Structure 1
Amino acid sequence: MTAITYRRADVDGFNVFYREAGAIDAPKLLLLHGFPSAGHMFRDLIPKLADRFHIVAPDLPGFGQSDLPDRDQFTYTFENIANVIARFTERIGFDRFAVYVFDYGAPTGFRLALAHPERITAIISQNGNAYEEGLSDGWNPIRAYWQDPSPTNRDALRAMLTRETTHWQYTHGVPDASAVSPDGYSLDDYYMSRPGAHEIQLDLFRDYRNNVALYPAFQAYFRTHQPPFLAVWGKNDPFFLPAGAEAFKRDLPQAVVRFFDTGHFALETHADEIATAITEFLE
């Protein structure tokens, strides 16, 4: 039951790659990755949960092994990414499921919940933000691009797409950087180096402002539907602050919030602890 299979789904002509594990009659769990990664970020977590859950981890459009169409063929916005993933869940028969969201996976998953609240059985957020106080000063260069989408401000963000910055994202805030495998950030750098990938990511940096604009709608969803909610947070994340995790309790008084002494990619160092927290929470 813990073996992982690697599949592709045709979603209205869009090819979505995904990892799958667990018995098909087990409770369903959808894993949504973040920037600049792909479903491989769950490589350590999936085997720890697959004996109890039916797990699917897709690569978001434009990431990993999923289709990477040119920008004139697909407009890279979080709304369009969420629409593809929503259709993907229908295509594979995920009618009711818990969702694990991280980084970019959060605005994707929260959009799914807004559109179809009846499908969401629970939410696990690992450094997946929905509150402005969760955004650190590390967002300032991107905020400048929101306010003035000039070529100068766009080009200033290219430094966030280098191999060195990806490595930094994986190791910043980790007490012992030798605990972080090079496999994750090396594969991310490979995907990021493909032709056209940088321009797509810059488009998504620009569009992220629309996620922030939706924060009040996400929060209203939390208040109205009160989904069971677990936050598992790398407390040393340079982008999404612990205050963002605590803020969920304003709208979800029963939310469980757990902090770990690590950085943005908490699964790289705390997969065991996070798997235990998820199992206890969902069962």
Structure 2
Amino acid sequence: MTAIAYRRADVDGYNVFYREAGRAGAPKLLLLHGFPSAGHMFRDLVPRLADRFHIVAPDLPGFGQSDLPERSQFAYTFENIANVMARFTERVGFDRFAVYVFDYGAPTGFRLALKHPERITAIVSQNGNAYEEGLSDGWNPIRAYWQEASAANREALRALLTRETTIWQYTHGVPDASAVSPDGYSLDDYYMNRPSAHDIQLDLFRDYRNNVALYPAFQEYFRVHRPPLLAVWGKNDPFFLPAGAQAFTRDLPDAVVRFFDTGHFALETHASEIAGAIRDFLG
């Protein structure tokens, strides 16, 4: 029941790598990772849930083991990534599912909900933002690029793509950094240093402004469709503030919000606690 299969799906010509576990016919759970990671970030979560759910965790286009198409062949926008993921869910038979969203997975998953609200049974948001008050000052260099798409502003963001910054994302806000395995950030750094990967990420930094522009639409979706929502939040996240988690209750008064004393990659230190919260919530 907890065995994980590693598969690939052809999605309209794009090769999407994914992890799959659990029993066919069990409630479906789609796991969507964030920057700069891939589906491997769920390596500790999946075995804790696979006895109850049919789980699929894809690598987004341009990330992990999925295809890394040239920028001339694929425009790296969150809209395009969400379109590939929507077709992916159809390809693997996920017609009705709960979705776990983290970081970049949030604007991807929330777009799926906008396009096909009938498919979403529940949402688990782990530091997956949909409110402007959830954006910290750590976004200021990226905001500058939104306001002026100059070469200088683009180049300044390359500092966010270094190994040192990736390690910082994993360890900042974690009371004991020795609890964070180096495996995750080392693999992310490997993927991040493939040819063209940096420019792809800079394109996505630029496009993130369109996610913020969609926040009102995401919030209207919450109010109209009332999906059950669990927010499990690393409260020391330097990018997505606790206020972003609390804001869900403004549009979804029944939302459950839980904070953990950790940082952005909360699963690195609190996979067991988050799995327990998911089991209780979706049970």
State the TM-score, normalized to the length of structure 2: 1.00
Taking the aligned partners of 2:174 and 2:264, their CA distance within structure 1 comes to 9
In the TM superposition, 1:109-128 aligns within 5 A as 109-128=109-128
Counterpart of 1:131 in structure 2 is 131
TM-fit CA distance, 1:27: 0.2
Post-superposition Cα deviations, 1:151-204, rounded to whole Å, max 9, x if no partner, equal 000000000000000000000000000000000000000000000000000000
Shift of 1:110: 0.1
Q: Secondary structure at the match of 2:98?
A: strand
Q: Percent identity?
A: 87
User: Is residue 84 from structure 1 mapped to residue 121 from structure 2 by the alignment?
Assistant: no
SS in 2 for 1:34: coil
Q: 1:51 aligned to 2:22?
A: no
In the TM superposition, 1:9-48 aligns within 5 A as 9-48=9-48
Deviation at 1:132, TM superposition (A): 0.1
3-state secondary structure, aligned to 1:139: helix
Q: Which runs of 5+ in 2 are unaligned?
A: none
Partner of 2:154 in structure 1? 154
The count of aligned residue pairs is 283
Q: CA RMSD in A?
A: 0.2
Post-superposition CA distance 1:202-240 (Å, at most 9, x none): 000000000000000000000000000000000000000
Unaligned runs of 5+ in 1: none
SS at match of 2:236: coil
| Equivalent in the alignment of 1:209 | 209
Residue of structure 1 equivalent to 2:228: 228
Local SS of the residue matching 1:223: helix
| 2:69 counterpart residue number | 69
Question: Hey, what does 1:93 align to over in structure 2?
Answer: 93
User: What's the counterpart of residue 219 of structure 1?
Assistant: 219
Displacement over 2 Å in runs of 4+: none
1:12 Cα deviation after fit? 0.6
CA distance in 2, matches of 1:15, 1:70: 13
Distance in 2 between residues matched to 1:17 and 1:39, nearest whole Å: 9
Matched residue SS, 1:31: strand
Residue 8 of structure 2: aligned partner:
8
Say if 2:176 is the partner of 1:176.
yes
TM-score (norm: length of structure 1): 1.00
